[in-house]
Amino acid sequence: MNAPDKLPASTEPHVMKTYGRLALALSHGRGCWVWDTEGKKYLDGLGGIAVNTLGHAHPKLVPALQDQIGKLIHSSNYYHVPLQEQLAAKLCELSGLTNVFFCSTGLEANEAALKIARKFGHDKGNTRPEIVVCEKAFHGRSIATLSATGNPKVQAGFGPLVEGFVRVPLNDVAALENVAKTHPNVTAVFMEVIQGEGGINLATIDYLRAARRICDEQGWLLMLDEVQCGMGRTGKWFAHQWAGILPDVMPLAKGLGSGVPIGAVVCGPKAANVFGPGNHGTTFGGNPLAMRAGVETLRIMVEDHVMENAATVGAALKAALIRELAGVKGVVDIRGQGLMLGIELDRNCGELLGRAAEAGLLLSITADRVVRLVPPLILTADEAAQIVAILCPLIKDFLATTPATTSATTAAP
């Protein structure tokens, strides 16, 4: 089966070539299905990279957004935006935290978290605060979040990077304890609960609890990046809740607005008052349309038991993938939680991106060798079975016909 060719340069002569796009353009969607401009139908196993929580054209979300567009799309943070307080109150209720700063993207949420960590240190007299981050992490592509990211490939060509980061392996408690002994300027630990771009790597419950303990002992902030793994994707509102802990700072984005750009930084008591007027801001963040999208997304998730569906269907999907790929040479691991799953192979598998699209399934490849599935949280059991029916034969054929030393690599957009 031939993969779609790359789009020729002449197709988008005025758009910067920052993405390795496939030769298709999507036209419209319904539920967990999308159609391209040529009329071909695809099962959406990517969800806009964990963004389309409620799928496409949700019958409850669309009229709510239409109503808001007819009232007010954007105002300014010079004025009160009542929907900000409504959404912030709900996020605090769900998280057990204190207050929220709204922005527009996950990168902005992570950038704000880094600023909070630095100011937290300065407020305590630490003029050169450091932040502990993890190997294989991905926090964004701004200079600061890129510096916090643990991927030399995406950092290449953008030095000098921002200083002040101490890097440790994920799930290595001893490494964290050693940092506490050797780095007196540390003010925070910053990590993803599940590394998305890093290859669907899960922080263990024991590690999360140890990180909370060490931060408490040292007076550090525990900052948990839930941009990709939060908002019900793992079967709880936030992935860290499986460990029964509370962070001090929690960046959110992606699924919070079901496709409308929105980011948030949710803070607990230790960090709630670090920012004051003039310390941080945004033009688009917290606008009425984005806030309405967040409010309605949470409302619909509760009404339709979407989070419970993610847990149930996700577990069934993972079990089916394990069953169908058991004993297949070249399959290294199948991991994840809820509807955030990764299939690690023993070779670069970028070309599966195109092969899957040709077969009618949208997905992504992350960390070069991991097939990532982050579909809408409304995915049905039947649709999960269809993902397995399409994907597993593709993986088996790929591994049987593609030598590990010559596999193509396609970076996830």
What pLDDT digit, counting tens, does each position of 375-402 carry?
999 999 999 999 999 999 999 999 999 9
Q: What pLDDT score does 7 carry?
A: 52
Contact present, 36 and 42 (Cβ < 8 Å):
yes
The string of pLDDT tens digits covering residues 337-366 is 999 999 999 999 999 999 999 999 999 999
Sheet holding 370-373, edge to edge: 331-337, 340-345, 370-373, 364-366
More confident residue, 7 or 380: 380
Q: What pLDDT score does 376 carry?
A: 98
> Catalytic site residue 333?
no
Q: Are residues 296 and 379 in the same domain?
A: no
Q: Are residues 37 and 96 in the same domain?
A: no
387 in a structural domain = yes
> Catalytic site residue 71?
no
The string of pLDDT tens digits covering residues 308-336 is 999 999 999 999 999 999 999 999 999 99
Residue range(s) defining the domain that contains residue 211: 61-303
Q: Tell me which H or E stretch contains 352.
A: helix 352-358
Q: Are residues 119 and 68 in the same domain?
A: yes
Q: What pLDDT score does 299 carry?
A: 98
Distance CA 74, CA 87 (A): 16
Contact present, 372 and 339 (Cβ < 8 Å):
no
More confident residue, 76 or 410: 76
Q: Which residue's structure tokens are 């590394």?
A: 195
Q: Are residues 39 and 72 in the same domain?
A: no
> What CATH number does the domain containing 178 carry?
3.40.640.10
Q: Which residue's structure tokens are 């419970």?
A: 308
Task: List the one residue out of 238, 291, 237 whose CA is nearest residue 102.
Answer: 291
Q: Are residues 265 and 293 in the same domain?
A: yes
Task: Say whether pLDDT at 60 is over 90.
Answer: yes
> What CATH number does the domain containing 399 carry?
3.90.1150.10
Q: Are residues 66 and 45 in the same domain?
A: no
Q: Are residues 313 and 287 in the same domain?
A: no
Q: What is the pTM of this model?
A: 0.94
Task: List the one residue out of 254, 4, 347, 279 whose CA is nearest residue 116.
Answer: 279
Q: Are residues 23 and 106 in the same domain?
A: no
397 in a structural domain = yes
Catalytic residue among 165, 190, 238, 254: 254
Residue type, 145: T
Q: Are residues 291 and 368 in the same domain?
A: no
186 in a structural domain = yes
Distance CA 325, CA 320 (A): 8
Contact present, 261 and 229 (Cβ < 8 Å):
no
Q: Are residues 323 and 402 in the same domain?
A: yes
Query: Which of these three, 272, 303, 334, is where a domain ends?
Result: 303
Q: Which residues pair with 36 in a beta bridge?
A: 26
76 in a structural domain = yes
**What would the two tokens of residue 128 be?**
């050169």
DSSP 300: H
Catalytic residue among 101, 102, 120, 138: 138
Catalytic residue among 119, 165, 190, 225: 225
Q: What pLDDT score does 46 carry?
A: 98
> Catalytic site residue 225?
yes
Q: What pLDDT score does 413 carry?
A: 35
240 in a structural domain = yes
191 in a structural domain = yes
Query: Which of these three, 303, 334, 357, is where a domain ends?
Result: 303
Distance CA 341, CA 325 (A): 14
CB atoms within 10 A of CB 269: 11
